[in-house]
Amino acid sequence: MRRRFQHLDVFADTPLLGNPLAVVIDAEGMTTEQMQHLTRWTNLSETAFLLPARSPDADYRVRIFTLVGELPFAGHPTLGSCHAWLTSGGTPRDPARIVQECGTGLVPIRKRGDLLAFAAPPLIRGGEVDEVFVEEIAAILGLGREAVVDAQWVDNGPGWVAVLLEDADAVLAVDADLSRFDGDRPLDIGLVGLYPAGSECDIEVRALFRDGPSTMREDPVTGSLNASLAQWLLGSGRLTAPYLASQGTRLGRAGRPRIDQDEDGTIWVGGRSFTCVEGHLEL
């Protein structure tokens, strides 16, 4: 069966400098096993599958898969899926507000020019990180404990623990080594450091996560992490909105997530998406 397909770049101002995403436009009728099999074949961090909405309040539904399983929500697949849905003929009931249905429920997405932004989901775990764990994370990062300015749980699903370093340069200098860690638990570390006032971007972000028993992988640009970091950094007064984040620098990317906040406190994570490849899959 022929199914429409897009290969996109998300969260960059220039194509091929963000985070790639595969989207199957016409996924109705595909089984979970077929979706997982295709995701492994694309070999990208995530592949998204567009389906008709089940909720009467949603414009479309998406299922998001990684190489190892399905995610209830993820940031760059949310913006990329919305872009693919719109450019393939989707028409929202409200042109300024698209509603996506996914594993976590309904996610509002707003459109302003060529920027799409999703509302940051609530944290499922926040607060201080146990000091022993902070020391373990510092060791993995190759840092002394004194280099960690602050650490917080900022988990909105994937399991993020945020680590604030002295500045953006310190974030870029980190070389993580999971062999320094004895535990076997999941590990998702978000590094953040501020740039000097007047810089192009306000913060540098890196997303490091466990990829196998002894290796760590870095994600180019991470919507979920930028969403939860914004809740922490804005809530603690370290930043004010709007602000611009940089991510992917160590990987040769130029991710540019944009963070904004409404008067009611709603935080929006936005960026540009580009369709780089468009065609059909023969399945």
Active site residues: 46
CB 268 within 8 A of CB 259: yes
**Quick one: how far is CA 140 from the chain centroid?**
22
Phi then psi for residue 267, to 5 deg, are -100, 135
HEC string of the chain equals: CEEEEEEEEECECCCCCCEEEEEECCCCCCCHHHHHHHHHHHCCCCEEEEECCCCCCCCEEEEEECCCCEECCCHHHHHHHHHHHHHCCCCCCECCEEEEEECCEEEEEEEECCEEEEECCCCCEEEECCHHHHHHHHHHCCCCHHHCCEEEEEECCCCEEEEECCCHHHHHHCCCCHHHCCCCCCCEEEEEEECCCCCCCCEEEEEEEECCCCCEEEECCCHHHHHHHHHHHHHCCCCCCCEEEEECHHHCCCECCEEEECCCCCEEEEECEEEEEEEEEEC
* Structure token digits, residue 69: 């399983």
